[in-house]
Structures are given as structure tokens and as C-alpha cells.
Amino acid sequence: MVVWSHGLGCSSRSSRGTGSSQERKDNLGFAHFVLERADVFQSLVNAVRRAVDDEDSVVFLAGEWCGDAIQKNVALCELPRMFIVFHVSANGGYQPLSVLDEVMSTEITRSNSVYCITLVTPYVVTIDLRDTAAAAAALGEVTEAVDERCPFAAALGAVGHGEGVVWKMARRPQCSSLWFKTKGAAHEMPARGGGIKPVKLASLSDCRAVREYVAAVCTNRRLEQGLEYITEMYGAHDMRNVVEFAEWVERDALREHDCGDVAAAQLSKVMRATVIPWFNLHIESCCM
């Protein structure tokens, strides 16, 4: 996310900072990318401020930081690193992406790898809550198409897989509580235990059920995201971060469930016995 109040700042889902403080923790190059293109982001901010008629408004540009060596196994990896804006607000109020159209249509943004998600045509699906099966099928069809061929990467000349689709209400796009994401099978992390038989985790006592649950939620993708979090927060990952890594994986999996203390303690023990050896092997492989 790019933030402009009385100056330029940037943040991620895990941290926020301005100027040099953020750049010191900048392992994936996001802060450097933004600060190096301050004039480009100033142009975008000015466009938003003109739209709201307030030259002092605090502007947020939320987007996806992606490209070379940031994600894995998706077409965007084949492209230079870029920032794709998908949400704009001023003084906390939602603004339509169209306020950026004039600036985004110029060569200055494209040549600096700054884009808007509106570069591609949005998908539209009608969800009838009286027929959720049909809605799920329609969403799944679009998601599979994106999984097979990423439309944004294709617009920039790269062919390959996409990760998923973020959905917003057409009439109330500002209502972020109604946003949700569907992912292709290769990128999906199983929710509520994935394919295992649903159980009430608060009364879970069967050790076998606990192990099955842990195996279902500790996917390679979730573990990789744990590494990404550690790298973002600490600038690298080594054995000093193993506890933080295990705690992140636990939180990410358990937040999907309303577990009692007993269940959480059981899951934590078995989960750590799974994720810590995985982390150790990863560190060893990096040192070879």
C-alpha cells in the first residue's frame, strides 16, 4: 500500500513505515520501488486530490506488489516487478478507480511498471443466494480460467497461470467486508480442514483426527507464505526465526476456526512437530 499524507510512505499487510525506516526493512524491494518513483505516485495522488477537491487529503493506494521472484508458479513471475493498484481512498473514503484513468493512460506509469487493475476487463457473476451451488459453479468456472491463463499477465505479454480472482460487490465496491477471493486448485489453502471430515475442534480429542487436520492445513503454500512473512518482517529467515515462523503458521490456520483452549493446545503441539522440521530442512537446503 502507498500512503501519501504530508509525504510519501508505504506499507505491507505486516508493517508500515515511511522513508528510510521502511527502506531498511525492505527485502523484496517494495519501498525502494516506490521511493524511486515518487514523482509517479505524486501524479496519482494529485489526481485523487483533484477528484475530491481537497489538496491536503490523505490518499491510500492499495495494490499488489508482484513480478519477478515475488510470487511462485504464476505468469506474473515472468515479468519485471510492478505495482498494480486495485483500491483507492481519500481521507478514509472510497474512491472509484476511474479517478486514476487520466494518469494511468500516460506512458509514465507503464514505463515505471505502475498499473491499475482496470487494465483488464472485470469478470461479472450474478450470485443468487437461493442457489449457492450455481453461484459456486459460476465462480469456479471463472477461477479455473484465470488459473489456466492470467489475463493481467497476458495483457503485458506473459502467458501462464494466474493465482485467483478477488470479487467485490458491483453496486457497493467500497464495502470491503463483502470482498472475497477464489483461488485455483494449485494455490488454494484448504479452509476448515480441507477435504477431511468436518469436526468440532473445540471438543477434538482424537489424536488421529488432529494429525489429519494438521496435514490438511499445513500445505506447502501456507508454509511458503510463512517464509514470506518472516522475510518481510526480519529481512531474512534462519534458525533464529523458527519460533516466529511456527507461530505465524499456527495463527494463519487457527484463525479459520473457533477452537477451545484444549483443541488449540493439541493442534499447536502437533502443528509444531510438522512445521519446524519443514523449516529446518528449508534452511539446510539454502545452505547447501
- Chain centroid to CA 55: how far? 30
- For the chain, the structural domain boundaries read 1-117, 120-187, 201-287
Across the range 224-249, mean pLDDT stands at 79
DSSP 201: G
- pTM value is 0.66
pLDDT of residue 187: 65
| Contacting residues for 269 by C-beta, under 8 A, at least 6 apart | none
How far from each other are the two terminal CA atoms of the chain, in whole angstroms? 36
Across the range 54-68, mean pLDDT stands at 91
DSSP 216: H
- Distance CA(112)–CA(218), nearest Å, equals 37
Would you say residue 84 has pLDDT above 90?
Answer: yes
Q: Which CATH fold would you assign to the domain 1-117?
A: D-amino Acid Aminotransferase; Chain A, domain 1 (3.30.470)
Would you say residue 45 has pLDDT above 90?
Answer: yes
- Distance CA(189)–CA(166), nearest Å, equals 15
**Count of alpha carbons within 13 Å of 240, Cβ hemisphere only?**
6
Helix (H) or strand (E) holding 120: none
Residue scoring higher pLDDT (205 or 11): 11
Residue scoring higher pLDDT (195 or 9): 9
Residue scoring higher pLDDT (249 or 282): 249
pLDDT tens-digit map of 136-188: 899 999 999 999 999 999 999 999 999 889 999 898 888 877 788 888 877 66
pLDDT of residue 267: 74
